[in-house]
Chains A and B, each alone.
Chain A
Amino acid sequence: MIHAEGLTKYYGSLTGIEGVTFHVGQGEVVGFLGPNGAGKSTTMRILTCYMPPSFGSATIDGLDCFEQSLQVRSRIGYLPENVPLYTDLSVRRFLKFVASAKGVDARKLKGEIDRVVAVCGLDKVAGRIIGHLSKGYRQRVGLAQALVNNPPVLVLDEPTIGLDPTQIIEIRKLIKDLRGEHTILLSSHILPEVAQICQRVIIINGGRIIATDTPANLTHQLQKSALVSVALAGEASPALMGALHDLPGVVSVKRANDHQGRFIVETDHTSDLRPQIAKMIVERGESLLELKLMGLSLEDIFMQLVTEEKVQEENSS
């Protein structure tokens, strides 16, 4: 559905993005992840025909974003970053403009507006001036304008930024409900959000894509070692820790900072040492409170990828 091929954008002498290539299939929900200034918005602006790439090409539904701009634009719903809206208009008036601009038939106009108002939970504020609405409602109006005329592709630039936790959950739920009938590309720098909503993650940093995969696969690939967290009732003796360290497959044993009896055993990736660790502790007469395998969170992966990238760059330069 969305094909980006070697997208490159220069802002004068600055590089916005470089050689960004990815594909999004029909009905997929893909998260675009990266720190601020990584090039997420630039890529989205190119895909939505807001600006042309310096090099490379982008197609949506087989239509070129540069050559067939009007047809492409009628197939996408776009929520720009910072949600620009006509603040002098009322919500309903604004949506009416959006609907007629997107070519909704005059007879179906009211029904379509009622539909997006209901989907985005705007019933209470439909008659109010957008400039008087709270940030959360404005965000929903932004989402509502993207949904008008039910476009097959949705491009959402940071849809949950600046919202309070309940609103974030509502918007996420809304996006989850849209899965299936829409192809969705959303950007975020909040990692758990992407892990929750998206089937696939594209991690971008410094204008280049550094990883593309499902959240689960990324975790699996990057986990070079397994961490086992152990908690004892009393303080762990140095003798026990030394003995654990001598187990085959254990890389290191470290005390955790938060709890006196807690320590972390790092093992190599291949073996699960939990039974041996438990056995050794119990045999030594210590009382075991907790034993669990710690997975890498998406945050860790992200940090790892971004820092690895920096180290590589430093090495090469």
Chain B
Amino acid sequence: MKGFVSLYRKELHCLFASPIFYVVAFTFLIIAGYFFYSNVAYYNIVSFQASQNPFALKQLNLTEMVLRPYFLNLSVVLLFLAPILTMRLYAEEKKTGTIELLFTYPLSDQASVAAKFSAVVSAYVVILAATLPGIIFLHVLSEPNWKVVLSGYLGLFLMGTAFLALGLFTSSLTQNQIIAAVLSFGLLLMFWVIGWTRSFVGEEFYRFFQYLSLPSHLDSFTKGVLDSRDIVYYLLFVLFFLFLTLRQVESHRWRG
């Protein structure tokens, strides 16, 4: 991992110097804010009605009505924005030719893959952290279940790293950023809808596809359940795509 630290710092500088990050963060936060507001507003209306109806009062649940839909909504927004965040990582270097510098400095390929991935994950954590004020606001006005909040954010973080690892891989395939983004979005969408195949595949296949599907593993996190299967799934997903990226980058050294 020779040169990881220097590469990581360079990547962070490049990430935060480019307008892409700010546009993605801005868009994500606006949409996140909208979903948060609409969920809380809906909860408000229902709680007003419940004040006259003691039976409905029992059904009021902040986790089920605000937090869970909020996390699920964010995961969909992320599906659209993660490819934009990752598309430039290798593609831009190939296009501008700086890859020639990167490959002729005494830096290992592992370090370059790890540094690029860590940098983009750091940027993602910054964006995710920027949604926290909403939760604090909720905490002031009500009593959210903090364990659900934490596990929800952990789920979003893990799912996000999976998106970013796949995006890093598609970026290493091409020198065109648009192609990298479209490929990564397409692949993510495939992993998204693969769990919707119950009606036309057998039960056995369905369970297998269900396990491969990206969103099906987020569900338990949003309920406050930490299932080791889900954590292992996301970690394997990340490792698999990082491995593919490394192979792709290394292939440059021996391919004729």
- Using A80-B97, A82-B97, A84-B97 as known contacts, say yes or no to A49 and B103 having CB atoms under 8 A apart: yes
A73 interface hit (Cβ, 8 Å): yes
- Using A84-B97, A93-B13 as known contacts, say yes or no to A51 and B252 having CB atoms under 8 A apart: yes
Query: In the bound complex, how far is the Cα of B70 from the Cα of A230, in angstroms?
Result: 93
Q: Identify which of A45, A85, A102 contacts B105 (C-beta below 8 A).
A: A102
The chain A residue sitting closest to B107, CB to CB, is A101
Residue from the set B7, B100, B101 with the largest chain A CB neighbour count within 10 Å: B101
B6 interface hit (Cβ, 8 Å): yes
The chain A residue sitting closest to B18, CB to CB, is A88
Let me know if B6 and A100 touch, CB within 8 A.
yes
A74 interface hit (Cβ, 8 Å): yes
Residue from the set B7, B13, B98, B254 with the largest chain A CB neighbour count within 10 Å: B13
Return the CB mask of B227-254 against A: 1 if under 8 Å, else 0: 0000000000000000000000000111
Let me know if B17 and A70 touch, CB within 8 A.
no
B5 interface hit (Cβ, 8 Å): yes
- Using A50-B100, A88-B14 as known contacts, say yes or no to A98 and B252 having CB atoms under 8 A apart: no
The dominant DSSP class at the B interface is helix
Query: In the bound complex, how far is the Cα of B14 from the Cα of A103, in angstroms?
Result: 20
Let me know if B105 and A101 touch, CB within 8 A.
yes
B52 interface hit (Cβ, 8 Å): no
**Hey, which chain B residues are within 8 Å of A51, CB to CB?**
252-253
Return the CB mask of A60-96 against B: 1 if under 8 Å, else 0: 0000000001110110101010101111110001000
Question: How big is chain B's contact interface, by range?
Answer: 20 to 34
- Using A10-B256, A97-B9 as known contacts, say yes or no to A88 and B97 having CB atoms under 8 A apart: no
Q: Identify which of A45, A74, A84, A87 contacts B106 (C-beta below 8 A).
A: A74
Interface Cβ pair total, 8 Å cutoff: 79
A57 interface hit (Cβ, 8 Å): no
Let me know if B14 and A73 touch, CB within 8 A.
no
B142 interface hit (Cβ, 8 Å): no
Number of interface residues of A (CB under 8 A): 31
A267 interface hit (Cβ, 8 Å): no
- Using A73-B106, A84-B98 as known contacts, say yes or no to A101 and B3 having CB atoms under 8 A apart: yes
Let me know if A97 and B100 touch, CB within 8 A.
no
- Using A84-B96, A101-B3 as known contacts, say yes or no to A52 and B253 having CB atoms under 8 A apart: yes
Let me know if B106 and A78 touch, CB within 8 A.
no
Residue from the set B6, B9, B18 with the largest chain A CB neighbour count within 10 Å: B6
**Hey, which chain A residues are within 8 Å of B3, CB to CB?**
100-101, 103
B53 interface hit (Cβ, 8 Å): no
**Hey, which chain A residues are within 8 Å of B254, CB to CB?**
52
Query: In the bound complex, how far is the Cα of B107 from the Cα of A180, in angstroms?
Result: 28
Least Cβ–Cβ distance between A26 and chain B, in angstroms: 21
Query: In the bound complex, how far is the Cα of B12 from the Cα of A93, in angstroms?
Result: 12
Least Cβ–Cβ distance between A208 and chain B, in angstroms: 19
Let me know if A73 and B252 touch, CB within 8 A.
no
B104 interface hit (Cβ, 8 Å): yes
Let me know if A80 and B101 touch, CB within 8 A.
yes
**Hey, which chain A residues are within 8 Å of B256, CB to CB?**
10, 52, 54
The chain A residue sitting closest to B9, CB to CB, is A97
Q: Identify which of A80, A88, A93 contacts B100 (C-beta below 8 A).
A: A80
Return the CB mask of B105-117 against A: 1 if under 8 Å, else 0: 1111000000000
**Hey, which chain A residues are within 8 Å of B100, CB to CB?**
45, 50, 78, 80, 84
In the complex, chain B residues 28-82 whose Cβ is within 8 Å of any chain A Cβ = none
A48 interface hit (Cβ, 8 Å): yes
- Using A82-B97, A86-B98, A88-B17 as known contacts, say yes or no to A73 and B104 having CB atoms under 8 A apart: yes
A145 interface hit (Cβ, 8 Å): yes
Least Cβ–Cβ distance between A154 and chain B, in angstroms: 12
Query: In the bound complex, how far is the Cα of B110 from the Cα of A70, in angstroms?
Result: 13
**Hey, which chain B residues are within 8 Å of A52, CB to CB?**
253-256
Let me know if B104 and A78 touch, CB within 8 A.
yes
Residue from the set B10, B107, B252, B253 with the largest chain A CB neighbour count within 10 Å: B10
Let me know if B13 and A100 touch, CB within 8 A.
no
Let me know if B97 and A86 touch, CB within 8 A.
no
Let me know if B101 and A145 touch, CB within 8 A.
yes
B207 interface hit (Cβ, 8 Å): no
- Using A70-B2, A101-B7, A102-B105 as known contacts, say yes or no to A89 and B14 having CB atoms under 8 A apart: yes
Chain A residues packing against B (C-beta within 8 Å): 10, 45, 48-52, 54, 69-71, 73-74, 76, 78, 80, 82, 84-89, 93, 97-98, 100-103, 145
Q: Which 6 A-B pairs have the closest CB atoms?
A: A84-B97, A100-B6, A74-B106, A88-B17, A97-B10, A73-B106
Identify 23 residue pairs between A and B in the complex whose beta-carbon atoms are under 8 Å apart, listed by A's number.
A48-B104, A49-B104, A50-B100, A51-B252, A52-B256, A69-B253, A71-B106, A78-B101, A80-B97, A80-B101, A80-B104, A84-B100, A85-B98, A85-B101, A88-B13, A88-B18, A89-B13, A89-B14, A97-B10, A97-B13, A98-B105, A101-B10, A101-B106
Given A86-B10, A97-B6, A100-B6, 18 more pairs with CB closer than 8 A: A10-B256, A50-B100, A51-B252, A70-B106, A73-B105, A73-B106, A84-B97, A86-B14, A86-B98, A88-B13, A88-B18, A93-B13, A97-B9, A98-B101, A100-B5, A101-B3, A101-B10, A101-B105
